Amino acid sequence: MKLPFVVWSFLAANVALAQVAESHTRRLSSAGVTENTGNGSTRLEPRSLGAKPFYAVAHRVLTSSGVQAAVHHGANALEIDIQGWKKGAFVKTWDLWADHDGSLSSAGDKVRDVFDTIAQERQRGANIAFVWLDIKNPDYCDEDADGWEYGCSILRLVNLARFFLQPLGVRVLYDFSTSRGRDYEKVRAMLNKNEAMGIAVRWEERSKLDSLGPRNKSQRIFSAGFFNWSFKYDSVKREIREAIDSQAFGKVFGWTLTAGQTDNANAMMAHTAIDGLIYGRAALSYDSTWSSYGGIEIIKSYLKRRPHERFLATARDSPW
């Protein structure tokens, strides 16, 4: 039976990606990449028996300079907002952008460029365990506009992550605002062992997790939060506790820890078995200022005082 051209194209692309992945892996090994914590002032504490890995996730990393700043501050994971769209009314080409709002002035760099920077940092030894891809407006992209291999399709996003990141040991979390839809179903159907999915499920729907999310529990990720903990801290903490107690998810995260929220952060880590926190500026992209890195300083200070509970995860600690 003769296969359609589009199928042959898909198979050829994946063969090429596999070859590149093998090349990346050989290059990483030959380069002798080792884990480091970014800046010289951050040192991994000795691990205690029974301590579990903890993830400090840099919030809204939308540019290559944001990647470099987060690595310097010691982040071991990066949250990146993704928009597939035409940047501006007079632009004809659809593309994937690191972009939270989807407005004329909100976009950072192209996703390809951000991923390339992450790969370069990883090859230099940066301790990046995973990227958290927060997909805004899923299904908005016109997948037929420029072809899946060049445009803004979810398939292109997956292939870019598998091309640039996974061969270097950087895992990927795909987070959707809904547990339904075209893009969600496509990702769920093609998930590999290095990938996980954020499950946007109402608590009363938790009995449907097997049908809505990945069957492998370790690849189901739950997160709860608010841009300003001062307003909803108690309810966020309650949601996180319920998700952890349900034992229905591989990892549970909270967001967004901002600079100065020391008491709330310490209480969250002390009173729940949370696996990580997104930290950074509440409503702005990540940069080199204290308002971006103040949150991770709180996390590192807590972990240093209580090494028997948690340690700052390295890229060797698979999150799923």
Q: Which of 24, 59, 72, 100 is catalytic?
A: 59
- Read off the tokens for 26: 């050989």
User: Is the peptide bond preceding residue 37 cis, with omega within 30 degrees of 0?
Assistant: no
Q: Is residue 100 among the annotated active site residues?
A: no
DSSP string covering the chain, please?
Answer: -PPPHHHHHHHHHHHHHHHHHHHHHHHHHHHT---B-SSTT--PPPPPTT-EEEEEEES---SHHHHHHHHHHT-SEEEEEEEEE-SSTT----EEEE-SS-STTT--SBHHHHHHHHHHHHHTTB---EEEEEE-STT-S-TTSS-TTTSS-HHHHHHHHHHHTGGGT-EEEEEESSS-SHHHHHHHHH--TTEEEE----GGGGGGHHHHS-SSGGGEEEEEE-S-HHHHHHHHHHHHHHHHHHT--SEEEEEEE-TT-HHHHHHHHHHS---EEEES-SSS---SSHHHHHHHHHHHHHHHH-TTTEEE--TTS---
Catalytic residues, which ones?
A: 59
